[in-house]
């Protein structure tokens, strides 16, 4: 029983620690380091972990583009974090062009940030507020699930008023 309580307490501590994303720096497509604080939105930021080989990621991207266009003027930014391995890095720029990704994309080729944030599947999306607190998390993608994200964005924007 003591062992179970200890394990549960560790899990709770990890969940609490993961409720805020610390400022990070990753390379952009031009090989320059860029930080979260430089790119984040005034009110909300979507951080989307994705890969070129991920079918659900490909399906989610057009909806992220639409959400970005719809809410950018209200203080929302989107940051795509690509986790393709260094071996696949040449595929990233053409992929972004093909799928007309209009938001910032950073590279996490060794999945260091993804590991720190306990990302275990793609796509994984975090919605963070101006204080970098995670207010919504979504793993995977199925058609129509963008409505859940939109509902959360609107809720957060309304709370901010």
The Cα diameter of the chain in Å comes to 54
Q: Is residue 58 part of a domain?
A: yes
Give the model confidence (pLDDT) of 106-161 as tens digits. Answer: 999 999 999 999 999 999 999 999 999 999 999 999 999 999 999 999 999 998 66
- CB contact at 8 A, 77 and 40: yes
pTM reported for the whole predicted model:
0.86
Cα angle 77-71-128, degrees, rounded to a multiple of 5: 45
- 126: domain CATH number is 3.40.30.10
Query: What's the total number of domains in the chain?
Result: 1
Q: Is residue 36 part of a domain?
A: no
- Percent over 70 (pLDDT), the chain: 88
Q: Is residue 37 part of a domain?
A: no
Radius of gyration of the chain (CA): 16
Q: Is residue 106 part of a domain?
A: yes
Sheet (strand 76-82) strand order:
33-35, 25-28, 104-107, 76-82, 44-50, 124-129, 134-139
Q: Is residue 16 part of a domain?
A: no
Q: Is residue 118 part of a domain?
A: yes
């Amino acid at each position: 029983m003591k062992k179970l309580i200890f394990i549960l307490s560790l899990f709770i501590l990890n969940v609490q620690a993961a409720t805020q994303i610390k400022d990070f720096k990753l390379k952009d497509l031009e090989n320059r380091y860029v930080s979260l604080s430089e790119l984040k939105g005034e009110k909300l930021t979507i951080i989307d972990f994705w890969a070129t080989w991920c079918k659900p990621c490909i399906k989610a991207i057009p909806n992220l583009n639409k959400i970005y266009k719809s809410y950018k003027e209200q203080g929302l930014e989107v940051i795509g974090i690509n986790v393709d391995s260094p071996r696949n890095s040449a595929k990233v720029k053409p992929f972004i062009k093909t799928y007309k990704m209009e938001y910032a994309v950073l590279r996490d080729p060794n999945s260091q940030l993804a590991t720190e944030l306990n990302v275990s599947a793609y796509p994984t999306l975090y919605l963070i507020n101006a204080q970098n607190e995670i207010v919504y998390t979504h793993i995977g993608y199925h058609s129509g699930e963008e409505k859940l994200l939109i509902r959360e964005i609107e809720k957060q924007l309304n709370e901010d008023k």
